[in-house]
């Protein structure tokens, strides 16, 4: 019997990762599993391990460059009801929003704004699930999710559940300790505020984003981390890379820390462009940029290194 025989009803086969990532790049994932409950998730992970099947969790795929070769293993998506609920709980002296790890961050932000809960509105427009956003400490100039969350429910690799408080999650600039676990849920203790006030802030964040970032194009958000005290976008622009192109990948004219993909764009195109940008910034500013996105299975084929950008 195949290893996935217990999971036939939640398993799909040979699913293009281009359908699961915001770049819309990536070859087929051998298996895509959507466990419906914490127990089923623990079973799936155990089964993958017992059968030496590589596995990865994928949220909205908004910060990932998947390989053109695809992924020879199991992609786990927390899509079932237990992972996607968003609840607001009010008592006389507290307001709490609890969201599953697979819940859409945008839906959480809107629920908080509508419900008059302050603290998430600065995260408007960030494409992510709660799990992915917490793991990466998603955010920007209007706030970071790590500053708003109070507790995170995680599953240890062996299946044990535990609530971690914010300090244990060790949030830093686009980092946390949560990569060691599976993120099942987050709890946010928020303050009350007039929904109208929150809606105004929410709209301002969106207006800013639309003016400064290519939000309607295929991308994975910012490609590089900002070096300490500097801006990757500014450095890339100053190195003359705006509009630079490699195959179907090009540097956004709106914000130079975004690479946008056109039809036919491959991961190899994006990787070649990243290498060229890094070299130009190194040559001109003496700084080594580091990618912020997760690159899955970077190809090392020699041919790939010879690609050129124009
Ligand atoms: N700049 C340029 N040229 C550009 C882009 C930016 O000169 O092409 C300059 C801007 O004028 C500004 C400075 O660089 O003076 C910083 O730019 P911006 O305010 O756009 O912020 P950022 O540091 O580039 C960060 C996050 C974004 C987040 C925005 C807004 C990182 C790497 N990026 O961008 O996060 O949306 O703030 O909150 O930390 C992401 O993580 O995927 C992401 C998009």
208-255 pLDDT, tens per residue? Answer: 999 999 999 999 999 999 999 999 999 999 999 999 999 999 999 999
> What distance in angstroms lies between residue 82's CA and the mean position of ligand 1's atoms?
35
Supply φ then ψ for residue 3, to 5 degrees.
-60, -30
What's the pLDDT score for residue 308?
A: 76
| Atom 41 (ligand 1) nearest CA | 222
Buried b (16+ CB within 10 A) or exposed e, 65-91: bbbbbbbeebbbbbbbebbbebebeee
Alpha-carbon gap, residue 106 to 84, rounded angstroms: 12
40 CB less than 6 Å from ligand 1? no
Instruction: List, for the chain, all residue ranges whose pLDDT scores fall below the cut of 70.
Output: 298-306
Angle between helices 105-114 and 195-212 (to 10 degrees): 140
149 CB less than 6 Å from ligand 1? no
222 CB less than 6 Å from ligand 1? yes
Buried b (16+ CB within 10 A) or exposed e, 185-215: bbbbebeebebeebeebbeebeeebeeebbb
219 CB less than 6 Å from ligand 1? no
What's the pLDDT score for residue 164?
A: 98
What's the pLDDT score for residue 44?
A: 97
Average predicted confidence (pLDDT) for the chain: 95
Which ligand 1 atom sits closest to the C-alpha of 254?
8
Which ligand 1 atom sits closest to the C-alpha of 141?
38
Identify whether the C-beta of residue 178 lies closer than 8 Å to the C-beta of residue 154: yes
227 CB less than 6 Å from ligand 1? no
122 CB less than 6 Å from ligand 1? no
SS3 category, 12: strand
- Give the tokens for residue 30: 């051998």
292 CB less than 6 Å from ligand 1? yes
> What pTM was computed for the model?
0.95
> What distance in angstroms lies between residue 145's CA and the mean position of ligand 1's atoms?
17
135-161 pLDDT, tens per residue? Answer: 999 999 999 999 999 999 999 989 999
255 CB less than 6 Å from ligand 1? yes
What's the pLDDT score for residue 154?
A: 98
């Amino acid at each position: 019997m195949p290893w996935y025989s217990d999971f036939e009803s939640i398993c799909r086969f040979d699913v293009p990762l281009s359908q699961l990532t915001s770049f819309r790049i990536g070859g087929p994932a051998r298996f895509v599993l959507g466990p419906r409950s914490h127990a089923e998730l623990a079973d799936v992970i155990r089964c993958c391990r017992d059968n030496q099947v590589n596995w990865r969790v994928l949220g909205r795929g908004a910060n990932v460059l998947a390989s053109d070769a695809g992924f020879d293993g199991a992609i786990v998506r927390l899509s079932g009801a237990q992972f996607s609920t968003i609840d607001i709980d009010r008592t006389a002296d507290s307001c709490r929003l609890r969201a599953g790890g697979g819940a859409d961050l945008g839906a959480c932000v809107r629920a908080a704004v509508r419900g008059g809960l302050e603290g998430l509105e600065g995260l408007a427009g960030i494409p992510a699930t709660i799990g992915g956003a917490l793991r990466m400490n998603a955010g920007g100039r209007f706030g970071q999710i790590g500053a708003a969350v109070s507790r995170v429910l995680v599953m240890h690799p062996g299946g044990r559940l535990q609530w971690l408080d914010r300090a244990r999650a060790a949030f830093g600039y686009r980092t946390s300790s949560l990569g060691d676990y599976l993120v099942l849920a987050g709890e946010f203790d928020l303050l009350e505020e007039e929904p109208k006030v929150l809606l105004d802030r929410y709209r301002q964040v969106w207006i800013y984003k639309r003016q400064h970032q290519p939000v309607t194009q295929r991308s994975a958000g910012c490609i590089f981390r900002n070096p300490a005290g500097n801006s990757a976008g500014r450095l890339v622009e100053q190195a003359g890379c705006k509009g630079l192109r490699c195959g179907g990948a090009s540097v956004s004219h709106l914000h130079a820390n975004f690479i946008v993909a056109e039809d036919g764009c491959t991961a190899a195109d994006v990787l070649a462009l990243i290498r060229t940008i890094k070299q130009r910034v190194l040559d001109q500013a003496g700084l080594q940029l580091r990618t912020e996105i997760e690159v899955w299975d970077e190809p090392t084929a020699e041919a790939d290194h010879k690609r050129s950008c124009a």
